[in-house]
Structures are given as structure tokens and as C-alpha cells.
Amino acid sequence: MGTARYITRRLIFAVCLIWGVSVILFAMINAIGNPIEILLAERPGITDEIIESVTKYYGLDGSVTDRYFTWLWAIVRLDFGTSIIYNLPVSEMLVIYGMETLKIQIPGIVIALFVSVMISVLAATRQYSKVDFGVIAGAMVGHSLPGFLLGIILILIFSYWLGILPSYGAYSTRNPVMGSEVIDGLWHMVLPVSMLVFFNTATLTLLLRSSLVDVLRQDFITAARASGLPERRVVFGHALRNAFIPVLTYLGILFGLMLGTAPVTETVFTWPGLGALYIMAIQQLDYPLIMGATMIITVMLVTATLLTDIAYVVIDPRIRLG
């Protein structure tokens, strides 16, 4: 089967998957009951007539299927409705808050990837040395540390004790750092990105180091050395590319769940991103926002999985497309 056909098939599958999630999401939200009733009930001066007319205004009096298809057609056109709490278009909010999330998540993954490659090579080429054991121990600790704990420790050291880095937010309300909005933004990113880099590096290093140790033992590595290739080329060209294959899945999940795993970091650093927004939307039952954010997270995860599958085909010629 050709690559184009393979990708087409995966694409169709991805669309079906997203559609399936939309059905489940709608069914679950629907099961909570009429949002107008929940939001307005028990408030002074709200009568049944008012509830009925508002329900009608939002088109919530139709049958379940009618309402589902109305919603589906709307989200296909990227119209996620209007946030009940903020009274702003959800699509606009998803973009603004989503960007803030990506601003810390993407550097958090990309930097971690480079760091973990360097550390893994350092450890795996010195297997069972003190360096290697140190790396394993550090990665294990980092991997098992609760997410929020490190964030709080970082705030304690760098914001509270040393007072050099901001402990919350993405921008200063007044007096940006060094008078520049750009530097101010970057300055605020340091702590949350460090926290993400730390956790991602720990897990990626655990995976990559052991994979690399396995590959370095293979005959083709000895053969590459026996051919006179320089050690740098043997490790980075021949070993690392093979060692990376099992790590690819994890990397895909990491990218896919970028928005889904954001709440912890964003809560600790009061970061105005999609994670924090999502948690708040759930707490305040902002239906359009919950549904919009869930769909975006779904699309991200499915897209990342699709890209992972394609990356496998590119990196590993042994994969049979079928």
C-alpha cells in the first residue's frame, strides 16, 4: 500500500474518531440536564415562564438529535457559540488562551527533547558508570515527583526567596520587565517552562536512555565502528535514530495532550492558558466553553497521533503500511 493511501486511511479514521468523541461529549453534557434551568433556578425572581422563554431563545427545546446536529454543524464551521460567563465567542477565547498554553508547552517539550537526548547519550555511552546511575536516579525522582510540588518549590526559591522571577501570570500588569513587553513575556515564561522541561526531560530520558543502551549493544553498532565511522556519527547517526523509534509514541502523546495536561502547570503559576480556563469553565458550568475546549483537546490528540503514525513510516522503513 502506498504512503498516500495509508495517510488517507488514517485521516478518515481520525475524522471518525473525532466525530465519535463529539457524540459522547454531547450525550454526557445532555445528561446533566437543561443548562438554563441549572443556571437560573433558585434565583430570586426567576419564574418558569422566563426559563421556558430563555430555553426557547437558545434553541434548547428541540429534540436531542436536532440539537446535536445543530451543534455539530456549528462546530464544523468553527462556531462554538458564546461563553455564558464571559459573553465572548468561544472560538476566539480558545485561540487566545490556547496560544498562551502553547507558549509554555511547546518550549517545554522541545527543550526537554534536546536536553534528554544529550543526557541519554551521556549516560548510555557510559553504561553503569557513576554518571549513568546519577542520570537514572535523577530521572526516576523527576518522573515520580508530583507535578505541582516542583512548581511550588520553584516559586519558593526564585520568587519568594530570591525575588528574581515572577511567581504568577504571563505578563506584568504595570511596569514590564526592562520596559519591554517581549522580555517581560519571556521573563514570565521562565518558571512554568522550567517546570515542564524538568518533567518532560525526566520521562523522556528514562525512555531514551534504556532504548539507547539496547541499541548500542547491537551488532550493527559494532559493525559501524568496525567500518571506521567516527564515534559521534555512530552514536548520533546510527544508534540514536534507532533508539528514538520507541520514544516516538510518548512524544506524540506529549504533544497531543499538551492542552489536556496544562491545568496543573497553569494552576500553580496562575497562567492564563487553556488549562486554567477549562478548569474554570467546568467549575462554573460554562457549557459552550467546556464543549469547545474538549473538542479542541480531542482534535489536538488525534492530530498528534496521526502525525506520530506518519513519523513512524518516515523513520522506520520496516513498518509495513497496511
The site for other proteins (CB under 8 A) is made up of: 127, 217-220, 222-231, 233, 238, 241-242, 245, 315-318
**CB count in 10 Å sphere of residue 240:** 19
Amino acid at site 214 = D
Burial letters 104-113, b for 16+ CB under 10 A, else e:
bbebbbebbb
By three-state DSSP, how is residue 284 classified? Answer: coil
Distance in Å, CB of 7 to other proteins, minimum: 20
Distance in Å, CB of 254 to other proteins, minimum: 22
Amino acid at site 207 = L
- Among residues 266, 234, 287, which one has the least CA distance to residue 28? 287
Which residue is it, cell 551488532? 219
CA distance 46 to 26: 27
Amino acid at site 292 = G
Q: Which residues pair with 89 in a beta bridge?
A: 82
Which residues are CB-contacts of 273 (< 8 A; sequence separation ≥ 6)? 97, 98, 100, 101, 103, 104, 170, 262, 266
Q: Hey, what's the cell of 130?
A: 557513576
By three-state DSSP, how is residue 40 classified? Answer: helix
Cβ proximity to other proteins, 195 vs 234, nearer residue: 234
Distance in Å, CB of 249 to other proteins, minimum: 16
Cβ proximity to other proteins, 10 vs 238, nearer residue: 238
Cβ proximity to other proteins, 165 vs 313, nearer residue: 313
Cβ proximity to other proteins, 242 vs 305, nearer residue: 242
- Among residues 96, 105, 10, which one has the least CA distance to residue 293? 96
Cβ proximity to other proteins, 127 vs 270, nearer residue: 127
Cβ proximity to other proteins, 44 vs 228, nearer residue: 228
Cβ proximity to other proteins, 54 vs 245, nearer residue: 245
CA distance 20 to 71: 14
Distance in Å, CB of 232 to other proteins, minimum: 10
Sign of the torsion formed by the C-alpha atoms of 262, 267, 269 and 270: positive
Distance in Å, CB of 216 to other proteins, minimum: 9
Q: Hey, what's the cell of 262?
A: 496544562
Distance in Å, CB of 253 to other proteins, minimum: 22
Cβ proximity to other proteins, 1 vs 76, nearer residue: 1
Distance in Å, CB of 241 to other proteins, minimum: 6
Distance in Å, CB of 102 to other proteins, minimum: 31
Beta carbons of 261 and 271 less than 8 angstroms apart:
no
